[in-house]
Each structure stands twice: as structure tokens, then as C-alpha cells.
Amino acid sequence: MEKVWLTHYPSGVPAEINPDQYRSLVEVFERSCCQFGRRQAFHSMGYSMSYNELEQKSRAFAIYLQQGLGLEKGERVAIMLPNLLQYPVALFGVLRAGLAVVNLNPLCTPRELEHQLRDSGAKAIVILSGFAHLLTKVVDNTPIGTAIVTEIGDLLSYWKAKVVNLAIKHSKQKAPAYHLPKAVAFKEALAAATGHALRPVKIGGQDLALLQYTGGITGLPKGAMLTHRNVVANMEQCAAYLGPRVRGGEEIAISALPLYHLFSLTVNCLCWVRYGGLNVLIANPRDVPSLVAELRRWKFTAMIGVNSLYSALVNNEKFRRLNFGTLKLAVGGGAPIQQAVAERWRAVTGSPILEGYGLTEASPLVCLNPVDLEEFNGSVGLPLPSTEIQLRDSAGGEVAPGGQGELWVRGPQVMRGYWRQPEQTARSLRDGWLMTGDIATLDERGFVRIVDRRKDMIQVSGFNVFPNEIEQVVSGCEGVLEVACVGIPDEKTGEAVKICVVRRPGVALSVDAILARCRHQLAAYKIPRHIEFRDSLPKSSAGKILRRELR
């Protein structure tokens, strides 16, 4: 397919990047620590960690993993942490020791935790004490030899740590007790490195950096093998694409999405570390009042989020009163950004949401709207530099221009394959092309529009109905805060369209008002047959609405 999108890149964005510019993520990290040593790297709960301190602590952790635990190059270490300072210390420590990171969602069930630990073969885990009781239930069935347990305040200033850890210990919502005989305190692990030197490890582009498990919507999660070259390439693609707006050593990014989520890890953590930026870590973005209070403290220049987060912010009165004069970039992903939310965000902040598209298997970004975008366009943007895309039909043939087809992606960011699953790998990768399972269209300028996930498609009397379209229409109703669309069994039509709606506080909203808008904008077979009002919608830890739970 001709790369028609290249002519619509903003000025200064190259058609190609060099995925081998850096040998590894470790080289990128150490270069930034050298260049921006005194600058703040990460901030959490009132404490800022400089690049110098991050280098020292991650080095100490790497030494402990090598010499304290005896882990060898290529072995896996799991990390099960929210957005705390311990996360980047553990992340870069694992990578500097020549090991691979297995990111775990702290909200996973014991069954999911056991599967991912056993499947990955992780020998150690870094875990918050509040989640350790989950590990207690399954650790005997896993290869975990050492659990490195940390308290929330461990890396804060001395008295701040004392106060925070004591408050958590005596709070009404304290975590259940746990019993891990082979547990080591995170602070003790760092201290154990004193007097020892980090053993050099030769790390190349083809070495495994991340074993990132997919959501597991159908069956157990699969581990996507992302090499150093994969992740460096995606980081460089993002940097090249966003570069015209970014100044090294000056950016302040709000990290409200969890860093164990690959979208946040690549775009926030890694990209801003490359630029010597400051990441303000938000441990609980669902606490919107606390998030807004934190935002008030910073002249932030960038943030990424999902639709539900942006919606919650623009519906918060105190957020709308903030000063957004320094905001350069607001990036959306993880789930479709709804037009009503994007337009309200632009009205409040003066900055558009740059919607993008990606998936775990692509490290994750594939497409992103250009930085010179002025208003919401309903697309997920243009393919990133060094990225090829095609639209294929069910038989594998290319789709004619203007048609819908499954999105195939090829580029240096595409994974090596699925961990220990050659059959699944063969079904998803063909001649370097990643078959995404997403239905998309491509316009004459190269802008990609995701119609929907193939597995989410609803069949009504033989007609295809895509939930995204229904949600976009309903979200435009005055009074709709959130909406999700799913298909449910129906004796007459096979499936019927159902929507679950959360009302905006203080605004009246009726079924008739929703149906009137749908009748005006949708074909008859797409109109919801069932409308349910709810107080909330089920979401992932990253804030993505979980349609599967609504089904």
C-alpha cells in the first residue's frame, strides 16, 4: 500500500526512524541520567526523585538482582505496583541487570496472577504490601523464589515515609495480612548493594525487554514478547512524531494511567525519560478531586488518558478553573475517544485530544493524530514513521480504497511473537505482518478510522452493528456521562443492541431522548432495543470500559 499519509505529516516529522539508534532501553536510560542528572525525573506524593537518584537506586536494585538473588541474563522479574516511585526504580533496575520485566496488573485475580507467574517463569516479584495477600494464595504453585515487598512510602523523604506508611497500616481500608516466608523488604534489597558493583551485561536489540500479557478477553492472557529493539523503535517513533512540540529537559507530564499499562509505559515513562522530562505519578486517577488538586500544583505540558478519564475531568468544576496555558499535548488511547468528550475538552483546555491507536503486540503505538491537529476528526490519526499498514478482507486479500477491512501492521515495533505459543504466534503474524483483529477504514489522506473490534461486532438479523458507532451517537445526548454498547441474545434477530448509560449528575435524561437522537442518526436495525441506566460502568485499571462484563 502506498504511504499516502507521509504527505500529511507535520513539518519536521521524518518518514523513517532508526530503530537501531540505541542498542537497548538501558542505553537510552543511562544517557538521559548523564545528560539530565540534576533534573527531576519522577514525582509522587510530595517527593521528587532526580535522574541522579533514579540512576543510583536502579543501579542498587540491579546489583541486588544479580548478586543477591543470582539471576542471570534473560530471566524474568515480575513487577506488581501502582504508580509509585518504586516502579521506575524496579523497572530500570531489572533492565540494567539484563533481565526482562513482566508487568502485572495489581487488580488481577489470584487465578490470573498464578497463570502469568507460571507461564512467564518469573523467579522474583516486586510487589506492594497491599497486594501481597494475593500472592500468598498462589506463590507455592509458581516459580517465584523471592518476593520483594514494598510499602507505599518507602522512597519518600524519611518523615513523609513514616507518616504515610503508618497511616496505611492503621487505616480502615488496610490490606489483609499476608504470609511470604521468602519475602525481602524493598529498602533492604537496595541497601544490600552497598559496597558492590554492577556486573556489566551486554544487552542487544533482540534481547527480551518486556513480557507483556494481553487482556485475555478470550481465554487466558498471552505474553507478548517485546524486545529492546521493539520498544526503542516505538519510543523513537513517538519521539519523532511528537518532536516538533517537545523541548528536552523542560516537559512535565501527568502520568495518570498506570505505568504497567504499555500505553502509559511507552508514551509517558520511556518517551519523557528520553527527553529528560518529569513524570508526575498519579497512584489513583479514579480519585478525581485528588487528581485535580495535584494538577493545580504543576504547570504541566503533557498528559495521556482514556476517554473515561478525560470525561471525568471536564465534568469537574475545579478542573475547568485550572490554567492550561502550558498544556502542549493531550494524547488519548486505550479506547475510542468520543466526540462529545473531545469537543468539551477542547473547549475547556484550548488543546485538542490527539487520539491514537495501538495494541500490546505493537509496543503499543501504531497510529497517532498529528500535533498540528486543530479539532477532533474521529480518526486515530496517521501511521507512525517506519510503519506500514494494510486493510485485508476475510480471505486475506487487500481491500479496495474506501472499504472496511482488518487492519494489518508491519514495522520495527511489532513483537517477536507470543511467549511459548508458536501456534498463536503463527495465527497473528504472517511475513512480518501483525493481524490486529480490528476493523478499520483508510481515507485518501491516510487517516485511519477504527470501526470496531471484530469480536465486539453485533449481528442483528445478519447486519453488522459496531458498538463504537452507537456509543458515539449516544454520547452526544445532553446528560450522558458514559455509555457502553453490547449485543445480547435475541430470539428474533439473533442479537439485539443494548446500551448501558451513566447519567451526568444534575441533568435530566430519559429513554425517549436517547431514542429520538438514535432514530435521527442511526439505521433502524442499529437503534438500541434495550437501554439500562446505571450508576457506573465496569472498567479496567487503566479506565477502559469493559464491554465483556456488561455482556
| 3-class secondary-structure state, position 398 | strand
Q: What pLDDT is attached to residue 442?
A: 95
Number of helices (H), then strands (E), belonging to the chain: the values are 18, 27
pLDDT at residue number 245: 87
Q: What is the number of other CB atoms lying within 10 angstroms of the CB of residue 461? A: 12
Query: Cell for 520?
Result: 435521527
Q: Cα–Cα distance between 222 and 11 in angstroms, integer?
A: 39
From 225, 279, 185, select the one nearest 101 (Cα to Cα): 225
Interatomic CA distance for residues 280 and 300, integer angstroms? 9
Q: Are 115 and 221 in contact (CB under 8 A)?
A: yes
Helix axis angle, 25-35 relative to 86-96, nearest 10°?
120
Query: DSSP of 210-278, one letter per residue?
Result: EEEE---SSSS--EEEEEHHHHHHHHHHHHHHHGGG--TTT-EEEE-S-TTSHHHIIIIIIHHHHTT-E
pLDDT for res 454? 72
For residue 118, what pLDDT is reported? 97
Residue type, 471: E
The closest of 108, 90, 84 to 283, measured between CA atoms, is 84
Distant-in-sequence, close-in-space partners of 49: CB < 8 Å, separation ≥ 6: 40, 41, 42, 43, 57, 85, 88, 155
The string of DSSP codes covering 431-468 is TTEEEEEEEEEE-TT--EEEEEEGGG-EEETTEEE-HH
Question: Which of 203, 137, 208, 229 has the alpha carbon at shortest distance from 414?
Answer: 229
Bridge partners of 305? 332
- Reading the block at residue 19, the C-alpha cell is 530503530
What are the structural domains of the chain?
A: 22-34+44-237 (3.40.50.980), 457-550 (3.30.300.30)
pLDDT at 218: 41
| 183-185 vs 124-128, strand pairing mode | unpaired
- Compute mean pLDDT per 10 residues along the chain, 551 residues long, and list them: 92 96 97 98 97 98 98 98 98 98 90 94 97 96 97 90 79 78 95 96 98 68 96 96 90 95 94 97 94 97 92 95 96 86 95 94 97 92 98 89 92 97 94 93 94 80 82 92 92 88 92 94 91 92 82 79
Bridge partners of residue 49, in order along the sequence: 42
Total Cβ atoms within 10 A of residue 463: 13
- What pLDDT shows up at residue 216? 44
Q: Where do runs of H (alpha helix) occur along 300-394?
A: 307-314, 317-320, 339-349
Q: Which residues pair with 438 in a beta bridge?
A: 453
> Which pTM value belongs to this model?
0.87
Q: Rounded to 10 degrees, what is the CA torsion of 428, 452, 401, 406?
A: 10
**At how many degrees (to 10) do helices 288-295 and 307-314 cross?**
80
